[in-house]
Amino acid sequence: MGDILKLVGQRLGLGLVILLVISIIIFFMVELLPGDIAQAVLGQGATEENLAALRKEMGLDKPAPVRYLQWLSSAVFLDFGNSIVTGEQVSSVIGQRFMNTLFLAAYAAVISVPVAIALGILVALLRNSIFDRVANVLTLTSISSPEFFLGYILILYFAVKWDMFPAIASLSKDMSFGELLNRTFLPALTLVLVVVAHMMRMTRAAIINLLASPYIEMARLKGVPPLKVIVRHALPNAWAPIINVVALNLAYLITGVVLVEVVFVYPGIGQVLVDAVAKRDFPVVQACCLIFAATFILFNLAADVGAILTNPRLRHPK
């Protein structure tokens, strides 16, 4: 047990280091601006006094490393400073919306994970049949389509032509849970379509890879029934790749959410990020990027740790 804890601890440490490096990149990229933030905000026509005042207010008179440490130490406590454009606290703008985004991603994940794994295993078992070919073309098409294409097709049919679900996912506080699920169904379905396709292909590849190994052939040759081969022999070893696939796709879900939120005008963190980029509201951009990157790294870490826990071979690297 001790060596597992040590390995997991090593991975967590590595993730923390990467997150630190990313925070450095995010912070110091803004320093690459021609001039500085104050100049970018006020424009070319700003007077010297205004510039000096804004610089003092934002703490730009201090050297960059000092400001980085200040920014990082307050970011740890979820305080990302104030927005340049509106002057509001960034954390109060982002907080609720981040919850909304997580809700949407979780909604999509709950539907897509079981569906994708079941379909992926099915396709792997029926490989090279006509069903497999059709599934291959369909998943390829779904992966190749931009998210907004799928989103608008769903709007066109489910909202405009058949009038089954609302096209715009506006949320309010006093909605019942059923109402909430109904309102957010189309954005979630868009994400599901993309993620299921990815996950299905990866699950299929993992299972086929596994079914080609000699011990499965041995089991077949000694006359074990096909279902038992899958459940008793293949599945225990398949958990590791499947957990990996799920975690990687959940990480993808977190970023794929940006485009979908814009299509459905969903009040999530992706919308905030896109607006902030257009307005060049740097504190908000930095905060959103840090949150997205942290979530992304977290899921990748989860994939790593899950693989270590389910596959004893990884615990003894050669």
Residue with tokens 């590849």: 205
Residues across the chain: 318
Binding mask 93-132 for other proteins (x = CB under 8 A): ----------------------------------------
26 binds other proteins (CB under 8 A): yes
**55-63, 203-211, 223-231, 254-262 -> range binding other proteins (CB under 8 A):** 254-262
- Contact call for residue 16 and other proteins (CB under 8 A): no
Q: Which stretch binds other proteins (CB under 8 A): 72-80, 88-96, 157-165, 206-214?
A: 157-165
The structure tokens 């992706």 sit at 270
Crossing angle of helices 235-263 and 282-310, rounded to 10°: 170
Nearer to other proteins by Cβ, of 246 and 276: the residue is 276
165 binding other proteins? (CB under 8 A): no
Site string for other proteins, 31-70 (x = CB under 8 A): -xx-------------------------------------
274 binds other proteins (CB under 8 A): yes
Radius of gyration of the chain measured on its C-alpha atoms: 24
CA angle, corner 128, sides to 125 and 130, nearest 5? 100
User: DSSP states of 271-318 as a string?
Assistant: HHHHHHHHHT-HHHHHHHHHHHHHHHHHHHHHHHHHHHHH-GGGGS--
> What CA–CA distance (Å, rounded) separates 256 from 241?
22
Is residue 200 a contact residue for other proteins (CB under 8 A)? no
299/177 Cα distance (integer angstroms): 27
Q: Does the protein bind other proteins through residue 262 (CB under 8 A)?
A: yes
Sign of CA dihedral 241, 260, 264, 80: positive
Contact call for residue 255 and other proteins (CB under 8 A): yes
Residue 8: C-alpha distances to residues 20, 149, 246, 270 (Å): 18, 40, 19, 31
Nearer to other proteins among residue 4 and residue 20 (C-beta): 20
Using CB under 8 A as the binding rule, whether residue 30 contacts other proteins is answered as: yes
Say if CB 202 and CB 122 are below 8 A apart.
no
Q: Which of 258, 272, 303, 305 binds other proteins (CB under 8 A)?
A: 258
Is 253 among the residues that bind other proteins (CB under 8 A)? Answer: no
Which spans of this chain sit near other proteins (rule: CB under 8 A)? 18, 21-22, 25-26, 29-30, 32-33, 137, 140-141, 143-149, 152-153, 155-156, 159-161, 167, 251, 254-255, 258-259, 262, 273-274, 276-278, 280, 282, 285, 288-289, 292-293, 296-297, 300
